[in-house]
Amino acid sequence: MKAWDVIIVGAGPAGLAAGIYAGRSQLKTVILDQMMPGGQLLITEQIENYPGFHDGITGFELSEKLRVHAEKFGAVIENGQPVSSVDLDGNLFVVRTEGGEIKGKTLIWAAGSIAKKLNVPGEAEFIGRGVSYCAVCDGAFFKDRVVAVIGGGDSALEEALYLTKFASKVYLIHRRDKFRAVKIIQDRVKRNEKIEPVLNKVVVSINGTQFVESLTLKDTMTGETTELPVDGVFIFIGNEPNVAPVVHLVETTEQGFIITDEEMRTKTPGLFAAGDVRHKFLKQVVTAAADGAVAAMSATKYLEEKEG
């Protein structure tokens, strides 16, 4: 089996940008994704801070542009290939999927992250029956209904605004009295009459029979519990990194995010990490794409030094 120059795992903005740069460096490049290209872009309605797109661009459109761009420079994209394990065989990385195994001289791990769970009673039971982690996917099912959004970051506030397109009312439930989202989004939320912030409250349970009917909330200041009738609940409380298959080859933070240097190098020579899976200050589409570019150029440099 001939080895790829670069195997990229994850076809979000980081992986696709890495594919553009690796392809343009004339490296034999494959990008594996567990689903289809786009990563979290696919669950984002509108991106309004990606440089150059001053009128905004939908997550789907941007992912399509990135996919076409990576393929234009020769990267091969393989969908539906969740990676189960990664090992070293001498100097080569062996990447296993359900479809078999492939080998690469370098590996760029850009597998992103998945939504964190609240881990309260009712959450797992009502997934798809009122509990959702994706407003773009499920928002339209809640036309003229009452929903709750959980979280106080950029995702929660942006998705609460998006849900007002459909829902008659959106409760925005946050565990503190201050949101952490950027001010421009907080101001939009304040101006939106459909959104009602519910502060200093945590969800104790999600209740219903066939579908979600209510939330039990606990006041973090007084300890008092109350019942809030809702038809749906959208949970945006952050993400966890997809790191398991490479965890033995990298150093991570306590939360599991991969530690790299500025050139996206991990502790294993030839293994680079890029995008949301990496420990860094700012997690945005533009910084994910930048990570991917740096990782691909570092892989190029690594191969040149090794192979001459």
The minimum distance between CB 82 and ligand NAP, in angstroms, equals 22
Footprint of ligand NAP on residues 260-289 (CB under 6 A)? 283-284
Residue 188 contacts ligand NAP per CB under 6 A: no
CA dist., res. 275 & res. 286, Å (int) = 9
Q: Which of 245, 296, 297 is nearest to 7 (CA)?
A: 296
In the bound state with ligand NAP, the residue whose beta carbon lies nearer, of 5 and 138, is 138
CA dist., res. 14 & res. 260, Å (int) = 14
CA dist., res. 115 & res. 68, Å (int) = 27
13-24 and 285-307 helices, crossing angle to 10°:
40
In the bound state with ligand NAP, the residue whose beta carbon lies nearer, of 34 and 284, is 284
Stretches 16-24, 67-75, 174-182, 259-267: which one binds ligand NAP (CB under 6 A)? 174-182
Query: Positive or negative, the Cα torsion across 235, 253, 186, 217?
Result: positive
Per-position b or e across 182-197, b if 16+ CB within 10 A of its CB: eeebbebbeeeeebeb
Residue 151 contacts ligand NAP per CB under 6 A: yes
Active site residue 134: yes
* Alpha carbon distances (Å) from 34 to 79, 110, 129, 133, 286: 6, 12, 24, 18, 22
Footprint of ligand NAP on residues 229-258 (CB under 6 A)? 236-239
In the bound state with ligand NAP, the residue whose beta carbon lies nearer, of 27 and 273, is 273
The minimum distance between CB 37 and ligand NAP, in angstroms, equals 19
Footprint of ligand NAP on residues 86-125 (CB under 6 A)? 118
Q: Which of 29, 155, 164, 266 binds ligand NAP (CB under 6 A)?
A: 155
Total number of residues that touch ligand NAP (CB under 6 A): 20
CA dist., res. 161 & res. 149, Å (int) = 10
Q: Which residues are catalytic?
A: 134, 137-138
**Positions in the binding site for ligand NAP (CB under 6 A):** 49, 118, 150-156, 158, 175-176, 180, 202, 236-239, 283-284
